[in-house]
């Protein structure tokens, strides 16, 4: 471990570890149809992704009802029921990441996930996509304040007995880069996710990676 520049890694989930967009779009649009609202194209779904599930649902609704908390509650309940049944129909882990994460774990890197996805959905998704025990800690929405609040990241560092600066915080969005900055961690933006590189750089990315091997290179692996 002493030879590793970084000793811990915190991964975002949606758009970083896994391509979740097809199932998000299906579930969101099914909810919108049931609730009597217009459906969204891919770009419309991407505008709302990366935030907490409540904000994701809220921003998908017509602007004139976004402030109606009772309606947001109703639509959130519909969406959660649908997504619970379809969250992993077409979701897959991005190319090369499974092997890269296995190499990191074998080298002694402490691994965690911190996501704004509902905790139950996040845990179930990781269980389906990754070998058992791949990540020591998984933190989804509802455990702590949502990102970019750094409480979840600080909790992971404390549990691992590591300093924040010993972590790479790996994500695909402005929310992740801001979380890394707020936590004092090395902000790694991935180019394959749901936000442009320009957004990642503007919100504090220390580096942009373009492949799973690029992540391994940061650890000297």
Residue 107's H or E segment, with its range, is: none
How far is residue 112 from each of residues 10, 81, 103, 140, 167, measured CA to CA in Å? 5, 27, 15, 11, 10
**pLDDT score, position 106:** 96
**pLDDT score, position 2:** 47
Across the beta sheet with 8-11, the strand order is 137-141, 110-118, 8-11, 167-171, 186-190, 207-209
Q: Which of 41, 37, 114, 47 is nearest to 79 (CA)?
A: 37
**pLDDT score, position 3:** 67
**pLDDT score, position 50:** 80
Average pLDDT value over all residues in the chain: 95
**pLDDT score, position 99:** 97
How far is residue 122 from each of residues 25, 53, 117, 139, 217, measured CA to CA in Å? 17, 12, 6, 8, 27
Which residues have CB under 8 Å from 130's CB, separation 6+? 93, 98, 101
The domains of the chain are located at: 8-20+92-218, 21-86
**pLDDT score, position 152:** 97
- Burial of residue 75 (CB within 10 Å: 0-12, 13-18, 19+) is buried
Give tens-digit pLDDT for 134-162: 999 999 988 999 999 999 999 999 999 99
User: What are the average pLDDT values for consecutive 10-residue runs of the chain, which has 221 residues?
Assistant: 80 97 97 97 90 92 96 97 96 97 97 95 95 96 93 98 97 97 98 96 98 96 93
**pLDDT score, position 47:** 87
Q: Identify the CATH class of 8-20+92-218.
A: alpha beta
């Amino acid at each position: 471990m002493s030879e590793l520049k970084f000793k811990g890694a915190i991964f975002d989930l949606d758009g970083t570890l896994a391509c979740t967009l097809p199932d998000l779009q299906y579930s969101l649009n099914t909810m919108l149809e049931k609730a009597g609202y217009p459906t969204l194209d891919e770009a419309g779904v991407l505008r709302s992704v990366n935030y907490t599930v409540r904000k994701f649902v809220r921003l998908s609704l017509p602007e004139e009802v976004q402030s109606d908390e009772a309606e947001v509650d109703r639509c959130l309940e519909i969406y959660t029921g649908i997504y619970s049944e379809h969250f992993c129909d077409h979701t897959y882990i991005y190319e090369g990441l499974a092997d890269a994460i296995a190499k990191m774990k074998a080298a002694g890197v402490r691994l965690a996930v911190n996501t704004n996805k509902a905790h139950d959905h996040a845990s179930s998704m990781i269980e389906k996509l990754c070998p058992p025990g791949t990540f020591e800690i998984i933190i989804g929405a509802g455990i702590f304040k949502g990102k970019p609040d750094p409480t979840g990241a600080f909790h992971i560092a404390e549990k691992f007995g590591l300093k924040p600066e010993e972590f790479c915080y790996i994500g695909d969005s402005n929310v992740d880069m801001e979380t890394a900055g707020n936590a004092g961690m090395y902000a790694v933006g991935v180019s394959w996710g749901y936000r442009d590189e320009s957004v990642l750089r503007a919100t504090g990315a220390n580096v942009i990676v373009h492949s799973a091997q690029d992540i391994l290179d940061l650890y000297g692996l």
